[in-house]
Chain A
Amino acid sequence: MAAIIETHNLTKRYKKVNAVTDLSLSVDEGAIYGFVGPNGAGKTTTMHMLTTLLQPTSGEAYVAGYSVTKNPRDVRRVIGYMPDFFGVYDDMKVWEYLDFFAACYDIPEGERGPLIRDLLELVELSHRAEDMVDGLSRGMKQRLCLARTLAHDPQVLILDEPASGLDPRARIEIRELLVELANMGKTIFFSTHILADVREICTQVGIIEAGELVMQGSVEEMQRQLIPHREIIVTILGEAAPVKERLAILPNVDAVDDMKPDGGRQRIHVTLRGEDEEVSGLLAELVSGGVPVLHFTEETRDLESVFMRATRGIVS
């Protein structure tokens, strides 16, 4: 799939501080790309460079084929940007807010009315069109801000922590909205601290730390790369020792450890190298060896584990 966002050795330096260093990432067209990293890692700085708000110190970035340094106006035409805060204009109605930004994107007067109606319907705020922006809840403001980014029908949405500070319901609503937008063909590049959201909706993930891209790929690819072994928990009837001896000599088994018994049943923790075939082979070996297996489960390797392994807690 073609890349719609590409950065090549993108660097931003503030005097002695390297906010972003040699960042090279690639976002596929139509992807939902989760940009993950600790506070101060360089996520917002990267987004500011991609949205033409900040000039890179060196390197280059392209959005939909346009250089952020050489064709900033073209880049602005194809992106919708939502910062991590909601800038409020006092004394503005919800529809006026959208009308203002639609006008800022040169959308003709006659097209704005129907556009605002559609956008409000999309983010389920039609009933609040005449209300003042200031009176909306934070979740509603985030949805309105998302509607604003769509006013000029951009190809790429760059969203800085869109679910930050939202209650669980509002967070889920935003997440569903992002999936809906991706289904409409938008590419979504968003930063977040909420790994559950990344796991749930992202097709690509990039992990940044201390201004450097530590990893990128799909969640599954990252898991395979960072945690190559599989962890199997076997619950058996009877003595664990002979089973452990039998498993320890198998070629793909790295370690066999005792676990705390569960309801008087013995449990063994097996660390295994390999793919699904090796896991299946392990079960077959136990069964063919007459081991009375009660449970055979693989321990889930969640994104938190991947993140913790990928990062070292360094802040630039």
Chain B
Amino acid sequence: MADQPEYLTPPSALGAFIRRNPVALKELRGRMRGARAFVVLSVYAVLMSLFTLILYGTYSASQAVTLSTSGGVIGKLIFGAVVAIELFLVCFISPAFTSGAISGERERQTFDLLRTTLLPAERIVSGKLISALAYVLLLLLVAVPLQSLAFLMGGVTIEEVLLSIWILIVSATGYASVGVFFSASTQRTLNASVLTYAFALAVTVALPIGTAILAAVGAAAGASDQVGLEALMIYGTYLLAATNPIATAVLTEVNILNNGGIFVLTQSLSNGTNVPLVQPWIPYTLFMAFVTVVMVRLSVRAIRRASLEGDTQPDAE
């Protein structure tokens, strides 16, 4: 068996599962081949570790702390910082992996080859998405030991860790699907990247600004005894926050720290009335699921439209 070529060797069970989507298999093979993937993962792990070390060192130098007295604070700080960096990376790395998914095929002139096979547009899109997400998940997995430091130092519960991982995965899926959509809708990867990052910036930067404005209006309304408006602003703030990964993570963590539940909580208005709320990660999950479904369906439609109208111009000969 040792001399048998690789293509004659039966695949493992995992290999057989991945092979069901040839696009995912091809992408993963290309992404993981050679030293590049190992180097990227190593550099990522080293940078994250250095960041954690610097954070710990800076905090220790500024405060007279020991692990026994302030371990919980340091643990929470490291955990929060690592998750924040990961969230930021997920928002900008996931689209980078997918914004060239379909447009790259056009640029390499391999799109026509794919379109004349029996591969349906759904499998092309899902293959691209799965392969990108698999790599992002690998990056998240690399950072798990750093997040786990929080357990060593205390201050973070298992629910918080699981919620953070959930928000990261949901964010990666949503942002990657946006990248696939723009890639399927444009001819050039550069255009797809610009549009994808514009979307990512709008969601991660512009929406928090809107959230802050609503929160401020809500606070002002509370001060002027306009209870109805105050309640409306609170719900508006939560809904807007639920479109942003960082706002969702921060708000969910703040609510948990304020003795809110994992799923639901209540918030008091200025007149003492309690309004029921769900934790932002739930509407965020629904929002990102909606974004993913819509983007995937639009991507499939864009690929089918290319088949109907043709990507090729008359001067192709």
Interface residue ranges, A against B (CB under 8 Å)? 12, 14, 17, 19, 39-45, 48, 51-55, 72-73, 76-77, 79, 81, 83-85, 87-92, 95-96, 98-101, 103-106, 109-110, 112-114, 116-117, 129-130, 148, 152, 316
Contacts and interface: CB of A to CB of B under 8 A. Distances in A.
B310 A53 contact: yes
Interface string B1-41: 00001111111000010010010011001100110000000
Contacts of A113: 5, 7-9
Contacts of A101: 113, 117
A95 B317 contact: no
B316 A55 contact: no
A52 B307 contact: yes
B116 A87 contact: no
Interface string B86-120: 00000000000000000000001111111111110
A45 B314 contact: yes
4 nearest A-B pairs in the assembled complex, by CB-CB distance: A87-B110, A103-B22, A104-B117, A54-B310
Given A104-B119, A113-B8, A92 B310 contact: no
B159 interface: no
Contact of A109 (B19, B113, B119): B19
8 contacts: A44-B312, A44-B316, A51-B116, A54-B309, A88-B110, A91-B33, A98-B7, A103-B22
Given A110-B10, A117-B7, A130-B6, A45 B116 contact: no
B162 interface: no
Q: How large is the interface on B (under 10, 10 to 19, 20 to 34, 35 or more residues)?
A: 35 or more
B26 A100 contact: yes
B29 A103 contact: no
Contacts of A17: 314
A95 B5 contact: yes
A89 B308 contact: no
Given A40-B317, A55-B308, A117 B116 contact: no
A148 B311 CA distance: 22
Contacts of B34: 91
Contacts of A51: 116
B113 to A, nearest CB: 5
Contact of B310 (A42, A48, A72): A48
Interface string B123-162: 0000000000000000000000000000000000000000
A83 B113 CA distance: 8
B117 A99 contact: no
Contacts of A117: 5, 7-8
Interface of A, secondary structure class, is: mixed
A83 B317 contact: no
Contacts of B22: 100, 103-104
Contact of A76 (B33, B116, B308): B116
A87 B109 contact: yes
A44 B109 CA distance: 14
A147 to B, nearest CB: 13
Between B25, B26, B307, the greatest number of chain A beta carbons within 10 A of the residue's beta carbon is seen for: B26
A27 to B, nearest CB: 18
A19 B315 CA distance: 9
A96 B29 contact: yes
A20 B10 CA distance: 48
A183 B282 CA distance: 64
A53 B26 CA distance: 23
Contacts of A103: 19, 22, 25
A55 B310 contact: yes
B29 A53 contact: no
Interface string B287-317: 0000000000000000000011111111111
Contact of B317 (A39, A96, A105): A39
Nearest to B109: A87
B113 A45 contact: no
Contacts of B10: 110
Given A85-B109, A105-B118, A95 B6 contact: yes
Contacts of A44: 312, 316-317
A288 B304 CA distance: 74
Contacts of A99: 7
A106 B115 CA distance: 14
A43 B116 contact: no
Nearest to A20: B314
A14 B117 contact: no
Contacts of B8: 113-114, 117
B30 A90 contact: yes
Nearest to B36: A91
Contacts of A52: 115-116, 307
